[in-house]
Amino acid sequence: MTLHIPFKNTYVNLPNRLFSRQKPYPVRDPKLLAFNQPLADMLGVTGTDDAQELAQVFSGTSLPKGAAPIAQLYAGHQFGNWNPQLGDGRAVLLGESNGYDIQLKGSGPTPYARRGDGRAWLGPVLREYVVSEAMHALGIPTTRALAAVQTGEEIMRDRPLPGAVLTRVAASHLRVGTFQALAARQDTEGLQTLMEYACARHYPEADTPAAFLKEVVKSQALLVAKWMSVGFIHGVMNTDNCTISGETIDYGPCAFMDAFHPGQVFSSIDRHGRYAYGNQPQIIAWNMAQLATSLLPLENNSDKAVEEFTHIINEMPGILRHHWQDHFAAKLGLSDTSDSDEALITQLLAIMTDLKADFTNSFRHLTDSSVPETELTPHKDYAAWHEKWAARTAQQTIDPQNVMRQANPYIIPRNHQIEAMISQAVSGDFTLFHGLNTALEKPFDTIAEHGDLTTPPTAEEKVTQTFCGT
Ligand code: AMP
Ligand code: MG
């Protein structure tokens, strides 16, 4: 049986200034490293039993029937600085299947590549595969990974490294930066078409720019609250890495925190901590303000629109805080929450900050009543906090542990384990890669054989920086 992808491509019907036709480049010796069969099923992809054929197609070496490959245009604010022309420099969208984008990343240069080689090396491809699928299993909206293929070619980074291609699946690849690109070109007609397209794909109820903005704000507020609830730091929340759909995109210098600190930064290029863990709520509102600005030309009465859009943006912190409270309350076993629970949450986070406690394990140990002594026990405020918490959970009829087991993962993809997996993969051994993928399919289950994944890094293993050099 041959591979069949039921493509129904809509983006190519948009004004052609939004993209460039671009075929992926063939690679020398494609080898399939991973294929996500459940995701393929969701996409309606059939005939997936021939690994060699999958390697050919998902390396970009042979084009599947029905594909209409394009590189998408976008712009964006990178670390707050305006860049009028970004775009897919090393990715092509093959088309859409069951409403989802199927995109090859690392498939060769495009007209937007500037000086880049259009390629990706194995490390970031495997990192994105593992982390994006783990995010999905954690219940966090995200782009997904359909396939990882090694190219059999070496690419030059700080040293020669094995090349690879990731197949990314997304509800769409529309970004805040896509809107910014058209707004900057004063292309009001294109903006209107793009907004209608985005609404049709993601927010069919929205019928005005304000309604559309409100929906994106709601999705992104929920997303960032979810990130916070698992200790996730995106690392590069530029407006081009901020989706309209509300999915997490672009797993470059991202990381899950081990030791808790709100000021934690990982990205080697984030020198001023713009994208630190605790800054993410402010940054997402800033990004939404950029979206609002780019939608202004769609309104005839700009004074009224400024007022209305400002109101929507000003409401975002409250919406996010509400989700944040809900998610952290669940982490404490509370099925519903009120403002008075906020102190309970912030006091615990303060204790964790003081102790540099492991974020995931602290919450998981609270969840698991068979762990009476936790790493939080030594803190002078912990006993009093614990008493207050016990009194609060006693007010509800449901068992707090039932709520907590769904809210506090047993395992997350820890950075040092990802790094170990990448080093091993570069030497040709994919045992850790497959092991991580399998374990992270069920992050909330206490499975003894995955116990090593709960271990925080030793001082030598600690990853203090992640790199964009992808
Ligand atoms: P990112 O930091 O991954 O969000 O990428 C920022 C921009 O750089 C995007 O326009 C990418 O397409 C582009 N880019 C990143 N790496 C490469 C590469 N190796 N070749 C061409 N373009 C790249
Ligand atoms: Mg990006």
Ligand 1, closest atom to CA 110?
21
Residue nearest to atom 15 of ligand 1 (CA): 89
Name the closest ligand to CA 110: 1
Q: What is the pLDDT of residues 158-187, one digit of tens each?
A: 999 999 999 999 999 999 999 999 999 999
Contact 215, 203 (CB under 8 A): yes
Q: Are residues 76 and 209 in the same domain?
A: no
Residue nearest to atom 2 of ligand 1 (CA): 468
Residue nearest to atom 23 of ligand 1 (CA): 89
Domain assignment of residue 468, yes or no: no
Give the total residue count for the chain: 470
Is 466 touching ligand 1 by the criterion CB < 6 Å? no
The tokens describing 213, both together, are 């903005």
Q: What is the pLDDT of residues 97-133, one digit of tens each?
A: 999 999 999 999 999 999 999 999 999 999 999 999 9
Domain assignment of residue 111, yes or no: yes
Is 87 touching ligand 1 by the criterion CB < 6 Å? yes
Domain edge (last residue) among 117, 144, 170: 170
Q: Are residues 128 and 213 in the same domain?
A: no
Is 133 touching ligand 1 by the criterion CB < 6 Å? no
Task: Pick the closest to residue 437 from 119, 84, 38 (CA basis).
Answer: 38
Contact 163, 120 (CB under 8 A): yes
Domain edge (last residue) among 388, 408, 428: 408
Domain edge (last residue) among 408, 424, 449: 408
Active site residue 354: no
What is the CA(240)–ligand 2 centre distance, in A? 6
Q: What is the pLDDT of residues 272-293, one digit of tens each?
A: 999 999 999 999 999 999 999 9
Domain assignment of residue 456, yes or no: no
Residue nearest to atom 17 of ligand 1 (CA): 116
CA distance 15 to 195: 12
Q: Are residues 133 and 23 in the same domain?
A: yes
Residue nearest to atom 7 of ligand 1 (CA): 86
The residues pairing with 103 across neighbouring beta strands, listed in sequence order, are 93, 168
Cα dihedral 12, 13, 17, 18 in deg (nearest 10): -60
What one-character DSSP code corresponds to residue 470? -
What is the CA(87)–ligand 2 centre distance, in A? 9
What is the CA(90)–ligand 1 centre distance, in A? 6
What is the CA(447)–ligand 2 centre distance, in A? 35
H or E segment at 153? strand 144-156
Q: Are residues 190 and 119 in the same domain?
A: no
CA distance 279 to 301: 33
Q: Are residues 76 and 105 in the same domain?
A: yes
Which position among 240, 270, 326, 341 bears the catalytic label?
A: 240
The residues pairing with 76 across neighbouring beta strands, listed in sequence order, are 83
Helix, strand, coil percentages, rounded to 5, for the chain: 45, 15, 40
Ramachandran region, residue 44 (left: φ > 0; alpha: ψ -120 to 50; beta: rest): left
Is 270 touching ligand 1 by the criterion CB < 6 Å? no
Ligand 1, closest atom to CA 238?
4
Name 235's Cβ contacts closer than 8 Å, sequence gap at least 6: 252, 253, 254, 255, 265, 266, 267, 270, 275, 466
Domain assignment of residue 5, yes or no: no
Alpha helices in 332-447 (DSSP H): 342-355, 359-367, 382-394, 400-407, 415-426, 431-439
Ligand 1, closest atom to CA 87?
10
Is 378 touching ligand 1 by the criterion CB < 6 Å? no
Is 333 touching ligand 1 by the criterion CB < 6 Å? no
CA distance 122 to 34: 12
Domain count, the chain: 2
Amino acid sitting at position 454: T
Domain assignment of residue 450, yes or no: no
- The residue behind tokens 């969208």 is 93
> For the CA atoms of the chain, what is the radius of gyration?
23
Backbone angles phi, psi at 44, to 5 degrees: 80, 20
Q: Are residues 149 and 208 in the same domain?
A: no
CA distance 303 to 291: 17
Q: Are residues 55 and 165 in the same domain?
A: yes
Q: Are residues 361 and 255 in the same domain?
A: yes
Mean pLDDT by 10 residues, the chain (470 residues): 95 98 98 98 98 98 98 97 96 98 98 96 98 98 98 96 98 98 98 98 98 98 98 98 98 95 90 95 98 97 96 98 97 89 96 97 90 86 96 93 96 97 98 98 97 95 73
Q: Are residues 387 and 305 in the same domain?
A: yes
CA distances (Å), origin 23, targets 9, 26, 88, 283, 460: 15, 9, 12, 35, 44
Is 403 touching ligand 1 by the criterion CB < 6 Å? no
Domain with 27, as residue range(s), is: 11-170
Is 118 touching ligand 1 by the criterion CB < 6 Å? yes
Name the closest ligand to CA 469: 1
Q: Are residues 26 and 128 in the same domain?
A: yes
pLDDT at residue 465, as a whole number? 76
What is the CA(167)–ligand 1 centre distance, in A? 16
pLDDT at residue 42, as a whole number? 98
pLDDT at residue 467, as a whole number? 67
Name the closest ligand to CA 252: 1
Task: Pick the closest to residue 168 from 210, 136, 138, 198 (CA basis).
Answer: 136
Domain assignment of residue 92, yes or no: yes
Q: Are residues 96 and 202 in the same domain?
A: no
Within 10 Å of residue 159's Cβ, how many Cβ atoms? 7
CA distance 309 to 292: 6
Helix (H, G, I), strand (E, B) or coil at 33: strand
Q: Are residues 209 and 96 in the same domain?
A: no
The residues pairing with 31 across neighbouring beta strands, listed in sequence order, are 150
Domain assignment of residue 2, yes or no: no
CA distance 399 to 125: 41
H or E segment at 313? helix 302-331
Contact 379, 319 (CB under 8 A): no
Helix (H, G, I), strand (E, B) or coil at 331: helix
Domain assignment of residue 435, yes or no: no
Helix count and strand count (H, E) for the chain: 14, 12
Within 10 Å of residue 278's Cβ, how many Cβ atoms? 15
